[in-house]
Structure 1
């Protein structure tokens, strides 16, 4: 069973990596839209795809991010002083979201959560911190 689960995890991670590579710029993958895409990739039902996605997140192979009032709750590296605010905007009905520098008005996103590979999260954090340092020095 453990080998079967690791195979499922690998398939989910591979599918998420493929979706991330196809995403433009600072696009974010919503959990719901990702699970719907996994249905066709893995050939399972939507409920099963969501369960596989949750199990892969719980195994620590993917990262789930939430937001509070459009402010993305990013797990900043330890020792980060005054982390910059990172905002998310998008279209919940289309499942299209992106990271923005400022809070933008738009439709409610109360239940939306995002999924990233650890590598993509690291790139996002590094990029945002570098931009914050650049803004402070200019």
Structure 2
């Protein structure tokens, strides 16, 4: 199931960077990748030529607009947008497989076995990824007399 989730996260991130992170509930990274991709698209894609072509009402018009975009877009801009999408897909895949960003490995309390983030000891589920947790039983004290 984890591999299926990772493949789905990668596929969604290829279609729209940030969408794979939404699947794994990593909201900050989703917003960052989507914002980066949309900003780069607004800066580098020939929007004026696409808007002059008119609305897409058929498949032929959509293919025509895709051809216009491919012909009039700088190769460096195509590389940049592809790189952002590829990096988002790789990052979403690793996040879906359970690899954390590596910054919060020194957690003082209990951590979630699924996402690895620190959780409250009183809860029966992880408030980050909603994984149900097994209750922690207090260790029996030994009386050495």
TM-score tier, shorter chain, comes to under 0.3
- TM-score between both structures, scaled by the size of structure 1: 0.26
Which one has the largest radius of gyration? 2
From the two aligned structures, give the one with the greater strand fraction.
1
Q: What is the TM-score with the length of structure 2 in the denominator?
A: 0.25
